[in-house]
A and B are shown apart, each in its own frame.
Chain A
């Protein structure tokens, strides 16, 4: 008993603990990532949270607790309006992306018999160029004298270029949906790939046609992938500011642009922090709602 107090005894005890306890080994394995997460994620969040209760006075912070930023957030209609608009645009992006990604994922999972890897690699090809370049590419595509307009004009379909293609929410949706497609295809592909093919045959065998079998078997079983895809697209795009500022124009502005300007030209970091915190909570609440909704859908589909 007493030999446990000596250094070698302690080492022995630690070793025993390490070998005996699954959680200890688990956390040890996790520790580098955990450390990085805490340093890179939790700490800035704490800073952001604290900052949101301060006030800005010229170049200095007033470091007394104040809810003034949050009051302003709800008093000036622009913030809530922009938040709702961002959610709407991001929601449209998510729906568009998942709708585009699902057939692609379905095709690779069910129709491609060999060389699936090549297809999966091809999906990542757009990522070989930078995000910025892809956004600019869409600007070139959709612009007033862009590829689509000049193409249609030279074919004689148009006399005047279409003005509604660029600098509006739709162009933001198009650009973001394209930029995030791969993030949606992969999780949906994985969940489709996992579906036992005999389940689809069972659906047909029990009297359902191909479409109903899809609705009653394939879709519910691929729902985890659809949920993952939706979250992977919705969460990053709702706070995006690059795409809206490049292709959105004045009408395509999103909440990310305001946050950026608060930390930039407007020099009001506490307000920017407060908007960020509000965005974070809203997104978290929406995800909670979404997960609850899909969960009850899965229960109901029976």
Chain B
């Protein structure tokens, strides 16, 4: 990745009265990146986005856009454009009027502008929709118009504020693919705000996970999912089973952790912890392999009893009761043979196995 920051947050904080919406955010977004701000509602991600757009001013710190400090620029002087959560399509203008809105000072002749609009309509797959009124558009179409209206300005960064939240699941998945293609085709930096972790994983080059105004971790989706750096991130992205433990042995590329529930857990985890450190052992539901006969070795496996299960179509969730643990362990299985869930008879004994590299070790804070 080239080290060429298009947006640079430097110690950016934003207070609303006593509430710290954003707390000392410092990070860079690279040119051409699809960057997501992910977090639960109220975590400050939208505030951060609105500060880039210029609708909010940082209480302290500075945002640099392509090297330029932004604290003195009003929204209309910033080389960024936004796709609003509710799309904010002008109801008194038709599709063409909406898309042309920001082009008043473009210097294009009427003919050239119309050609540009037709191109953009083509790009968002709404050719021939130019004369439609705002109230004649479906949710998905409004979203595309909002996108077109911003993209025709050729912004340095496109800001997207939960743009897919109002769409139904099928349409949302389709728009995700189209957004990603559009971004790669145009090479524009996308700054995307979402609370939907799956969406963030699907779309992003990198994700910043936020909580209570703070940026907890910035990483690529696979790294965020496979080796999260904190319990919050591990819990927020996907689902995770946590077990308490203590580091008992460390070798060059191995660590052994004693847990009350799983017994001795060995891991290839690269994080280094001192001997005797209190840690969380975390294992994703799909990393467990359930077996119904006792394994040959009792290492890297645990015996339990089948609890309730849930059939989710492509996969099934099983809850497995394990001794010394109140909450059942969640196990996810792909429904490869159509009827995995039939295996689950309540109280049936089951052995859960895992591999060493599936184990994530997290500091206990």
Q: Please list the residues of chain A having a beta carbon within 8 angstroms of any beta carbon in chain B.
A: 196, 198-199, 201-209, 212-213, 216-217, 220-221, 298, 301-302
Q: Which residues of B contact A209 (CB under 8 A)?
A: 74, 76
Q: Which residues of B contact A221 (CB under 8 A)?
A: 91-92
- Say whether B97 contacts A302, CB under 8 Å: yes
| Those 9 A-B pairs whose CB atoms lie nearest each other, nearest first | A206-B102, A302-B97, A202-B88, A204-B75, A198-B88, A220-B92, A205-B82, A198-B84, A207-B102
- Say whether A204 contacts B74, CB under 8 Å: yes
Q: A216-B101, A220-B92, A221-B92 are contacts. A207–B84 as well, Cβ < 8 Å?
A: no
Nearest-Cβ distance from residue A98 to partner chain B, whole angstroms: 19
How far is B88's CA from A2's CA once the two chains are assembled, in angstroms?
Answer: 60
B18 close to chain A: CB less than 8 A:
no
How far is B92's CA from A221's CA once the two chains are assembled, in angstroms?
Answer: 7
Name which of B55, B75, B93, B97 has the most chain A CB atoms within 10 A of its CB: B75
How far is B149's CA from A206's CA once the two chains are assembled, in angstroms?
Answer: 8
| 16 chain-A/chain-B pairs, Cβ below 8 angstroms | A198-B85, A201-B84, A204-B55, A204-B74, A205-B75, A205-B82, A206-B76, A206-B102, A206-B150, A207-B76, A207-B104, A208-B102, A216-B101, A298-B92, A301-B92, A302-B96
Chain B residue nearest in CB terms to A203: B101
Q: Which residues of A contact B105 (CB under 8 A)?
A: 207
- Say whether B90 contacts A202, CB under 8 Å: yes
- Say whether A205 contacts B76, CB under 8 Å: yes
Chain A residue nearest in CB terms to B92: A220
Q: A198-B84, A201-B84 are contacts. A206–B91 as well, Cβ < 8 Å?
A: no
Per-residue CB proximity of B112-123 to A under 8 Å, as 1/0? 000000000000
How far is B149's CA from A301's CA once the two chains are assembled, in angstroms?
Answer: 17
How far is B91's CA from A203's CA once the two chains are assembled, in angstroms?
Answer: 12
Nearest-Cβ distance from residue A281 to partner chain B, whole angstroms: 32
Q: Which of B82, B94, B102 contacts A302 (CB 8 A)?
A: B94
Q: Which of B53, B76, B80, B97 contacts A208 (CB 8 A)?
A: B76
How far is B56's CA from A201's CA once the two chains are assembled, in angstroms?
Answer: 11
Per-residue CB proximity of B150-185 to A under 8 Å, as 1/0? 100100000000000000000000000000000000
Nearest-Cβ distance from residue A158 to partner chain B, whole angstroms: 46
Chain B residue nearest in CB terms to A219: B92
Chain B: interface residue count, which band? 20 to 34
How far is B81's CA from A196's CA once the two chains are assembled, in angstroms?
Answer: 18
Nearest-Cβ distance from residue A209 to partner chain B, whole angstroms: 5
Nearest-Cβ distance from residue A114 to partner chain B, whole angstroms: 14
- Say whether B86 contacts A206, CB under 8 Å: no
Q: Which of B54, B55, B153 contacts A206 (CB 8 A)?
A: B153
Q: Which of A199, A205, A217, A301 contacts B81 (CB 8 A)?
A: A205
- Say whether B93 contacts A196, CB under 8 Å: no
Q: Which residues of B contact A217 (CB under 8 A)?
A: 90
Q: Which residues of B contact A205 (CB under 8 A)?
A: 53-55, 75-76, 80-82, 102, 150
- Say whether B74 contacts A207, CB under 8 Å: no
Q: A207-B102, A208-B104, A216-B101 are contacts. A196–B88 as well, Cβ < 8 Å?
A: yes
Chain B residue nearest in CB terms to A202: B88
How far is B132's CA from A302's CA once the two chains are assembled, in angstroms?
Answer: 13
How far is B94's CA from A302's CA once the two chains are assembled, in angstroms?
Answer: 8
Chain A residue nearest in CB terms to B93: A302
Name which of A205, A220, A301, A302 has the most chain B CB atoms within 10 A of its CB: A205
Chain A residue nearest in CB terms to B50: A201
Nearest-Cβ distance from residue A301 to partner chain B, whole angstroms: 7
Per-residue CB proximity of B233-248 to A under 8 Å, as 1/0? 0000000000000000
Instruction: Give the contacts of B53-110 with A (CB-CB under 8 A).
Output: 53-55, 74-76, 80-82, 84-86, 88, 90-94, 96-97, 100-102, 104-105
Q: Which residues of A contact B86 (CB under 8 A)?
A: 196, 198
Q: Which residues of A contact B81 (CB under 8 A)?
A: 205-206
How far is B93's CA from A221's CA once the two chains are assembled, in angstroms?
Answer: 10
- Say whether A204 contacts B76, CB under 8 Å: yes
- Say whether B75 contacts A201, CB under 8 Å: yes
Q: Which of B53, B82, B90, B96 contacts A199 (CB 8 A)?
A: B90
Chain B residue nearest in CB terms to A213: B76
Nearest-Cβ distance from residue B269 to partner chain A, whole angstroms: 45
How far is B102's CA from A217's CA once the two chains are assembled, in angstroms?
Answer: 12
Q: Which residues of A contact B93 (CB under 8 A)?
A: 302
Chain A residue nearest in CB terms to B102: A206
How far is B75's CA from A205's CA once the two chains are assembled, in angstroms?
Answer: 5
Nearest-Cβ distance from residue A80 to partner chain B, whole angstroms: 38
Nearest-Cβ distance from residue A302 to partner chain B, whole angstroms: 4
Chain B residue nearest in CB terms to A223: B92
How far is B55's CA from A280's CA once the two chains are assembled, in angstroms?
Answer: 50
Nearest-Cβ distance from residue A200 to partner chain B, whole angstroms: 9
- Say whether A204 contacts B54, CB under 8 Å: yes
- Say whether A206 contacts B101, CB under 8 Å: yes
How far is B80's CA from A213's CA once the two chains are assembled, in angstroms?
Answer: 17
Q: Which residues of A contact B92 (CB under 8 A)?
A: 220-221, 298, 301-302
How far is B101's CA from A203's CA once the two chains are assembled, in angstroms?
Answer: 8
Name which of A199, A209, A298 has the most chain B CB atoms within 10 A of its CB: A199
Nearest-Cβ distance from residue A226 to partner chain B, whole angstroms: 13
Q: Which residues of B contact A204 (CB under 8 A)?
A: 54-55, 74-76
- Say whether A199 contacts B88, CB under 8 Å: yes
